[in-house]
Amino acid sequence: MAILAAPAALDKKISVDDFGTGYASLSYLNRLPVHQVKLDKSFVSLMDVSASDAAVVLRTPRQLGCAITALASRPGRLRA
């Protein structure tokens, strides 16, 4: 965590790319000093099935003050 805190202390923004692959968990976002989250297309395509899941995934980073980029397979489908 100290490694990620150093750039934040210098007013540098940190982005997480391809979130939703590997060991990604929404609980990590609460612990990391990130400013932007880019959701992986494979993660986003799973949210297309459930509107409630999509709402949770899209709202959580926003509530933590993160900007969100979601790569949707069908543009305009995700709303939260």
Enter the pTM of the model. 0.63
In a domain, residue 42? The reply is yes
In a domain, residue 65? The reply is yes
In a domain, residue 46? The reply is yes
> Which pLDDT does position 54 carry in this prediction?
74
Q: Is 70 exposed, middle or buried (0-12, 13-18, 19+ CB in 10 A)?
A: buried
In a domain, residue 33? The reply is yes
In a domain, residue 76? The reply is no
In a domain, residue 77? The reply is no
In the chain, the number of structural domains is 1
In a domain, residue 79? The reply is no
Structural domain of 52: 2-70
By the 8 A CB rule, do 17 and 38 touch? yes
Stretch (H or E) spanning 59: helix 51-63
What confidence tens digit (pLDDT) does each residue in 23-74 have?
777 777 778 888 888 887 777 776 667 777 777 777 777 787 888 887 665 5
